[in-house]
Amino acid sequence: MRGAELLVAFLALTAGAAWAQSELGPSTQDGPTNIKPPAPRPDNNGVYSPGPGIATPIVLSRVPAVYPVDAPADGIEGECVLSTVIGADGVPVNIQVVHTNGKAFDAAAIEALRQSKFAPGILDGKPVPVHIFVRTRFFNDRRIAYPRTLNRYDSNSSTSQGASNWEQTSSSASSKLTDAAPAPVKVYSVGSGVTAPELIPPNSPPIPSEKCKKKVDGSVVLSVIVDAAGRPHNIMFLQPLGSDLDKFALQIATEDRFKPATSEGNPVAVAQSLTVDLQACIDQSKDTTGKRISLMRLRSTPVQKMQDLAQPPQQAVLTSDDLTRNDSNNGTFRIERVGFGVSAPHSLNNLEAEFTDAARRAKYQGICLLTLIVDRNGMPINITVIKGLDYGLSDKAIEAVNKYRFKPALRNGEPVPVKITVQVNFRLY
């Protein structure tokens, strides 16, 4: 008989806690005075920038970017960032590429943006043209790539991966994508005059019917806070599957847009549970080196159902939806440490690592020690073996830990990434 136990321990990182100070207005004997922010002003072309007093444009109908058909078989992963003005009529104009992922990918991103529909920005109840940035991320498994809006774009430091040598890129123009800083908001519960948010169906093309030798189906249940602009935040697992379907569910939820909930006619943030029903297929392919790889693809349009959350928070700091799982791999975001106001992540599933036949025959056992980052969605990333085992057991440990899902660490109610160690104990009984 065999067994493999997983024990999670939390590392205290050497980096100390970061502190931020807010600038206050001039003091009086009664304390600091409040300074009214200046009224929004347009540029010389009558275009506004996102900021206080401006309700930013909202995507009403999203069209996915088509992955270039002549890309290499093992795919290219990267992103295209576009600058555009959403006119008072909701139509994107003045589209320019500010970060390229190659000409074919840029063209696909531009075409998707042109076909998408927006609710325009609002100032004092009237629609106005607003300048925004739009990012489209392309993944090497060719999953659906939707354009996503950003309020700001900083070109001073790198977060993006280019398109290698397949096409000429301007990767020297490195980039960092940012949105407005998160702030605590009141979170409402549906009922007593509070309406539920409504999912805006994505305008995605039908998924072609293809033969599938290995089908994989399942339902993933997430918790999500839909803000007053209809954007999802703080997406976390409630009932994960421990498979790549979890990643699909996270991507779908992140790309969702909603008609926001209302309280007495005003848009408000509401917490909900989101069930994503998925039907997928695992295909066998080869990368550029001839190595066989497995690729998962959807074989039907996912079905989503929203329900009231059993215990919604009364308020929360909303996470920016720009620092997603793939941003985490390049180390451009802050890693928190458990303690000092940061709670520990909690495992949501218990999966047993498997012995290899060679280890069983040799009666070989021991402890494999790994480090990883639990990201803000509760996914394990950047898994590294720091104390390995022979007979293929280190690979089996990585395989098991990759399927782990967590309730993420929290700081003041905000999900934050933390680094932990995982101990996988292989024992023969």
pLDDT digits (tens, 9 = 90+) for 249-275: 998 898 888 989 999 888 999 999 999
Which of 270, 293, 319 is a domain's end point?
Answer: 319
Asked, for residue 310, whether it belongs to a domain, the answer is yes
Residue 107: phi and psi, rounded to 5, are: -65, -40
- Same-domain status, 293 and 341: no
Give the chain's domain count: 3
Q: Which residue has the higher pLDDT, 294 or 215?
A: 215
Is residue 27 in a domain?
no
* Domain co-membership, 291 together with 345: no
* One domain for residues 107 and 118: yes
Amino acid at 24: L
- For residue range 334-348, list pLDDT tens digits in order: 777 888 788 899 999
Q: Which of 289-293, 318-322, 363-367, 373-377 has the lowest mean pLDDT?
A: 318-322
pLDDT beyond 60 at 421: yes
Contact 136, 68 (CB under 8 A): no
Indicate if 297 and 379 belong to the same structural domain.
no
According to the model, what pLDDT value does residue 149 have? 82
Q: What's the pLDDT score for residue 311?
A: 86
Across the range 285-301, mean pLDDT stands at 77
- pLDDT at residue 214 tops 60: yes
Q: Integer distance in angstroms from the first to the last C-alpha of the chain?
A: 5
% of the chain beyond a pLDDT of 90: 28
Whether residue 188 sits in one domain with residue 168: no
| Nearest-angstrom CA–CA distance, 136 and 111 | 11
**Which CATH number goes with the domain that contains 53?**
3.30.2420.10
| Separation of alpha carbons 229 and 258, rounded Å | 8
> What does the alpha-carbon distance between residue 30 and residue 15 come to, in Å, rounded to a whole number?
38
> What mean pLDDT, rounded, does the chain reach?
77
Residue range 104-143, pLDDT digits in tens: 889 889 988 988 888 788 887 788 899 999 988 887 767 6
Q: Which of 180, 211, 245 is the last residue of a domain?
A: 180
Shared-domain flag, residues 148 and 188: no
DSSP states of 15-80 as a string? SPPP--------EETTEEPP-PPPPP---TTS-B-SSTT-B--EEEE--PBPPPTTS-TT---EEE
Q: Which amino acid is at 223?
A: S
What residues make up the domain containing 10? 2-16+337-428
Is 332 inside any structural domain? no
